[in-house]
Amino acid sequence: MKYQQTQHLLLAIQAELCHLQWWTATPPSATALASQAPFCCDTMPLQQWLQYVLLPRMQALIDAQLPLPAQISICPIAEIAFAESGTAAFPLINLLGDLDELLSGKREQSIARV
């Protein structure tokens, strides 16, 4: 059940990234992807990290039926990273909060849910 719910959220996150026109055809460099910083924040914007790190890794876990992370908190950084986008980013932030809540059982979100 949790795999299905996670899969649904991953697809919704991808759709929202496309809607915001943040989905890119050109992947980051291997060096950027090898960053040791949380969310690769020193080498790429968060929307690229979502597309090229989070979504593929989570999909791989689902496909292999491996344990999903139990401690995840992406929403707080998304609120900061997407602040300049205003309300346009709220649906994506809400989806990331939903993913946090589904997997870790808690939601750390300061903006109002829409």
The CATH number of the domain where 12 resides is what? 1.20.1440.40
DSSP structure class, residue 22: -
Q: What is the per-residue burial (b if ≥16 Cβ within 10 Å, else e) of 68-98?
A: beeebbbbbbbbebbeeeeeebbbbbbbbbb
Question: What was the pLDDT predicted at 17?
Answer: 98
pLDDT digits (tens, 9 = 90+) for 31-86: 999 999 889 899 999 999 999 999 999 999 999 999 999 999 999 999 999 999 98
Instruction: Specify the pTM.
Output: 0.92
Residue pair 89/33 in contact (Cβ under 8 Å)? The answer is no
Residue 8 lies in a domain: yes
Domain span including residue 99? 2-23+41-104
Q: Which amino acid belongs to residue 99?
A: L
Residue 67 lies in a domain: yes
Residue 29 lies in a domain: no
Tell me how many domains the chain contains.
1
Residue 113 binned pLDDT confidence (cut-offs 50, 70, 90):
low
44: burial class by Cβ within 10 Å (0-12, 13-18, 19+)?
buried
